[in-house]
Amino acid sequence: MLRGTGVSPGVAAGPVRVMTGAVPEPPAGRRHAGDADAERDRALAALETVGADLEERGARAGGEARDVLAAQAMMARDPGLAGVVTDRIAEGLPAPRAVFEAFNVFHAALSRAGEYMAARAADLDDIRDRAVAFLLGMPAPGVPDSDEPFVLVARDLAPADTALLDPSKVLAFVTRDGGPTSHTAILARAMGVPAVVACGDCLELPDGTMVLVDGTSGEVRPDPTEQETAAAHAAAEARAAALDVGTGPGATADGHRVPLLANIGGPKDIEAALSCGAEGVGLFRTEFLFLGRTTAPSEEEQEAAYRAVLEAFPHVVVRTLDAGADKPLAFLPPPDDEPNPALGERGLRLMHSHPGVLTGQLRALARAAAGLDTELRVMAPMVADVAETRSFVAACRAAGLSSAGVMIEIPAAALRAADLAAEADFFSLGTNDLAQYAFAADRQISGLARFQDPWQPALLDLVAPAARAATAAGKDCGVCGEAAGDPALACVLTGLGVTSLSMSARSLPRVRAALAAHTLDQCRRAAEAALRATDADGARTGARAELPGLEPLGL
Ligand code: PEP
Ligand code: MG
């Protein structure tokens, strides 16, 4: 039995497909056996195979993926590339090394040809790795391709890896790295797929092994019996049924309203949000729309995506592009060689180097909302101080947007929340990054997951003053970090004065049930108990003692 941290509930059983890591560089200094023609044929056949495979995957995926993959297939079949490969083989290099060097020649040329072409260079590396892997008899890198549904096992998953995933094929995610607030976890929850992260030995599972994954307990059982699989499914269904308490508006037992909102990544998430009873959208992560893109989306394309979401809900909070660190967007490159991308130009900061992207997005949003009754609120990620708040609010006003807020996800912003509240129309607390920066602990590093525990009293110490400052200024202060989806913590946050909770759609029923089972006064007492604790476990236990309605609901 393997154990990790369950981060997206549900159980699934299926065969493992391991996502392979980096393809090794074929060693320099070797020579082929002497038959240059045979070696050349081998190399060109590998390039053709890769091209055909990319094209076929694109045809199956359809939509935008088809165009992206068709363009990559053309690169693999480029006659100029074949020419360099042939020359290198004529000089004596073996096929894998010749292919490797030929791609690098083109990579260097593209990198020198400006920002747009430089973004294409990353695509070339992927095609190179596929061709080299084929020649070395290794599985293709990246998300595995499979006709049957599978359990995806990986070291970690970048958001870009998952952009091309077919949700009907992936039964569950299991990763060696990542914590509860890593984007693997967030994406798995959005897809409604069970997920286990920080699962130490998962990469040792041979491809094809049947596993049973429990996204609540974090257990991954190889070769389960039929009885074990059936029992796990039954338990998961019983848990889900116990929480089926309707889809009404969020409120405490004594009627204190706490709107329950969904975190979404685009129009594809609308259906799940509505079926789980989301009252609106509290966080639209717009960068998720454009992860696989090498060029900036047009304003028209953005407008269409935003409009689809705005038409589906009465209230929507849209976050402007939050690119950088673990969510790089090729068309928004950070400065070269940042040693600590999470502390570098990301989120709103990146917009200083790309101001046109922000104003274009704000214009697209204003146009998308025109003529609709939907209440559109727009907020910026990674805001640190008053100056950034002022300039963002001014940019929103210039675009004709009436509600401009800021995310509180940097401790400096939480500490000076009163100053920020004087400028912004609302706050939304990003507890994932707030924990990352408060504890100086990268949220992607599984060994540091303890610091990502949103029950840490130090994190709650930053939430409390932000909520107080917003209340004093008569402004809303929601939470849209993963903390909002924890039923007990949702009660604590309500007790701290937070005015709305936004989470992965599938967490909504649990949180709705927890709130409905307690009065505002109980929530306040739970918050006081959590703040009095000296560590996360103490905060959890102390708060739960004030929330007697959780246990009967199995929460
Ligand atoms: C957060 O940091 O809490 C947040 C909601 O933003 P993201 O997870 O997208 O960084
Ligand atoms: Mg964040």
- CATH assignment at residue 407: 3.20.20.60
| Residue 235 domain flag | no
Q: Assess whether pLDDT exceeds 90 at residue 353.
A: no
Same-domain check for residues 388 and 512:
yes
**3-state DSSP percent of the chain in helix, strand and coil, to 5:** 50, 15, 35
Confidence band, pLDDT 50/70/90 cuts, at residue 64: low
CA dihedral 313, 316, 320, 325 (to 10 degrees): -80
User: How far apart are alpha carbons 469 and 497 in whole angstroms?
Assistant: 10
Same-domain check for residues 149 and 128:
no
| Residue 425 domain flag | yes
CA of 102 to the centre of ligand 1 (A): 40
Residue 137 three-state SS: coil
Residue where one domain finishes, among candidates 224, 252, 282: 224
CA of 546 to the centre of ligand 2 (A): 30
Q: Which residues surround the ion ligand 2 when the cut-off is CB under 5 Å?
A: 409, 430, 433
**Which of 67-71, 115-119, 343-347 shows the lowest mean pLDDT across its residues?**
115-119
Q: Assess whether pLDDT exceeds 90 at residue 333.
A: no
80-131 pLDDT, tens digit each: 999 999 999 999 999 999 999 999 998 888 877 766 666 677 678 888 999 9
Same-domain check for residues 109 and 209:
no
The whole-number average pLDDT for the span 405-412 is 98
DSSP 112: T
User: How far apart are alpha carbons 291 and 327 in whole angstroms?
Assistant: 7
Res 308: pLDDT? 96
Helices (H) and strands (E) in the chain, counts: 20, 16
376-391 pLDDT, tens digit each: 999 999 999 999 999 9
Could you give the percent of the chain with pLDDT greater than 90? 67
| Residue 550 domain flag | no
CATH code at position 102: 1.10.274.10
Residue where one domain finishes, among candidates 136, 151, 167: 136
Which helix or strand (DSSP H or E) is residue 56 part of? helix 36-61
Residues paired with 151 in a beta bridge: 16, 172
Same-domain check for residues 95 and 9:
no
Which helix or strand (DSSP H or E) is residue 426 part of? strand 426-429
CA-to-CA separations, 132 to 27, 125, 190, 256, in angstroms, rounded:
12, 10, 34, 61
Told to judge if 480 belongs to the known catalytic residues of this protein, a careful annotator would answer: yes
| Residue 529 domain flag | no
**Alpha helices, H only, 258-336:** 270-275, 299-312
**Which of 99-103, 179-183, 302-306, 313-317 shows the lowest mean pLDDT across its residues?**
179-183
User: How far apart are alpha carbons 101 and 4 in whole angstroms?
Assistant: 40
More confident residue, 231 or 494: 494
CATH code at position 160: 3.50.30.10
Residue 488 three-state SS: helix
Ligand 1 proximal residues by C-beta, below 6 Å: 283, 285, 322, 409, 430-433, 480-481
Q: Assess whether pLDDT exceeds 70 at residue 233.
A: yes
Same-domain check for residues 496 and 354:
yes
Same-domain check for residues 76 and 147:
no
| Residue 539 domain flag | no
| Residue 78 domain flag | yes
| Total of domains in the chain | 3
| Residue 532 domain flag | no
The whole-number average pLDDT for the span 125-147 is 85
The whole-number average pLDDT for the span 435-452 is 91
Please give the structure tokens belonging to residue 441.
Answer: 């602990």
User: How far apart are alpha carbons 177 and 158 in whole angstroms?
Assistant: 11
Same-domain check for residues 459 and 317:
yes
**Which of 31-45, 74-88, 105-119, 482-496 shows the lowest mean pLDDT across its residues?**
105-119
Same-domain check for residues 209 and 312:
no
Confidence band, pLDDT 50/70/90 cuts, at residue 339: confident
User: How far apart are alpha carbons 487 and 493 in whole angstroms?
Assistant: 10
Catalytic: which of 480, 491, 518, 523? Answer: 480
Same-domain check for residues 109 and 220:
no
Rounded to the nearest integer, the mean pLDDT of the chain is: 91
Pairing of strands 476-479, 11-18: unpaired
| Residue 254 domain flag | no
Same-domain check for residues 201 and 129:
no
Q: Assess whether pLDDT exceeds 60 at residue 245.
A: no
More confident residue, 168 or 360: 360
Print the domain residue range for 188: 2-21+142-224
Substitution candidate for ligand 1 out of 182, 288, 431, 432 with most atoms within 8 A of CB: 432
Q: What is the pTM of this model?
A: 0.72
Annotate 516-541 with b (16+ C-beta within 10 A) or e (fewer).
bbbbbebbbbbbebbbebeebeebbe
The whole-number average pLDDT for the span 162-178 is 83
Res 236: pLDDT? 77
Could you give the percent of the chain with pLDDT greater than 70? 95
Same-domain check for residues 106 and 210:
no
Same-domain check for residues 146 and 128:
no
